[in-house]
Amino acid sequence: MTQNAILFIPDISGFTEFVHNTDIYHSRHIISELLELLIDSISMDLKLAEIEGDALFLYKLEDEVNLNEVNMQIEQMYLAFHSHLKRYEYQRICNCGACSSAYNLTLKFIVHYGEIEFIKIKDSKKPYGSNVIKVHRLLKNEVPLEEYAMFTEPLMPSSYKTSPNTLTGIYDFGSINYSYEPLAHLKNQLPEIKPIPDDIPKHKLFDSTEIIQIPILELYEVISNFDYRLLWVKGVDKLEYEKNKVNRSGLKHQCLINKKRVEQTTVKKEVEPNQLVYGESTQEIPYTKRVHVYYVLEELEKGFTKLNIEVFVDFKPFGIIMKPFMKKNFQKIISENIKELILLIDSGFTTEQTNN
């Protein structure tokens, strides 16, 4: 039995083929976040048929197409996508190829209309038929833009048929006419995203420096990626965090320390152009309003990295009398953690072992 349906594919592109393992790992998480965001932005009752790499295959059974509704759906997804990337650029802490180029990602839409059938595979059913093949073939086309919405002939207004934005594609199934609309102008509607301020506590409790034989990006990944935290931070029994997100400024996580939950927030601060920084803030240490711990990394020669750990504190009233005790306690804890970190790296551990 055939039914009429809108076939709708939002497709993300812009990531190049990365060589470094961290880039691949982070690009996977960034794309995953964006695909989830597009799904959450569905407003016209589109059904998800498949997640296909960097794209979604959506459909809606419909005998009459409301093109205004389709255009509104495209606009809504496009603005959500680019608002997220704009926010991510302010919040990102990682300088790997994936994170630093995420703002270059683009979004296009392929929209087709025609008859489909369904094929049942165990407990699920999937759209099936020649029109499903057509909409996927149309991902490869002659549109001279990176971001656009493409509509095939069944969805084209009659005025489009003589438009310069109307093309004919030749495929293995034959020829098909389609028109396209640019989307870049919609960026003028993006909301203002304010950067998270680098607000550092007043008192510097202490700092410590280590030289570690590991490339800077790999050390940064070990320190900032929660997946590795329990491998080198002592005293933490459990870590709760959003596993499908790359760590970024403002992201919260919880540590279970001696059966007590401690909430921490990822922060950053200004550093020199040749340095990377990762920081965490908490308001749950006695006698303090907040504590920031920063890891500042600087690349040296021959695969060595200088790691400087800095602790800053804002004290509660009279809490400053605890400063000597807190300094001694932090020195002990961080010293033990850095020893564990060096042992982990000297054991031959690499991020590739757990990213794949």
| DSSP secondary structure string for all residues of 193-205 | -PPPP----SEEE
Can you tell me the distance from the alpha carbon of 32 to that of 41, in angstroms, rounded to the nearest whole number? 14
What average pLDDT score do residues 294-302 get?
A: 94
Q: Is-contact 149 108, C-beta < 8 A?
A: yes
Which residue shows structure tokens 């340095």? 275
Query: Is 312 within 8 Å of 291 (Cβ atoms)?
Result: yes
Burial level of 122, CB count in 10 A (0-12/13-18/19+)? exposed
> Which of the four pLDDT bands, split at 50, 70 and 90, describes residue 108?
very high
Name the pTM for this structure. 0.86
Distance CA 1, CA 8 (A): 21
- Retrieve residue 249's tokens: 């400024």
Q: Which two tokens mark 145?
A: 């833009």
Q: Fill in the DSSP letter of residue 191.
A: P
Confidence (pLDDT) at 321: 94
pLDDT bracket for residue 350 (50, 70, 90): confident
Express each pLDDT in 160-177 by its tens digit: 666 778 888 899 888 999
Is pLDDT at 355 greater than 90 in this prediction? no
pLDDT tens track for 77-88: 999 999 999 999
Average pLDDT for 21-27? 82
pLDDT of residue 353 exceeding 60, the answer is: no
Mean pLDDT of 225-250: 90
pLDDT bucket at 354, cuts 50 / 70 / 90:
low
Which residue do the tokens 């165990």 mark? 122
59 vs 41: CA distance, rounded Å:
14
> What's the whole-number average pLDDT of the chain?
90
The yes-or-no verdict on residue 158 having pLDDT over 70 is no
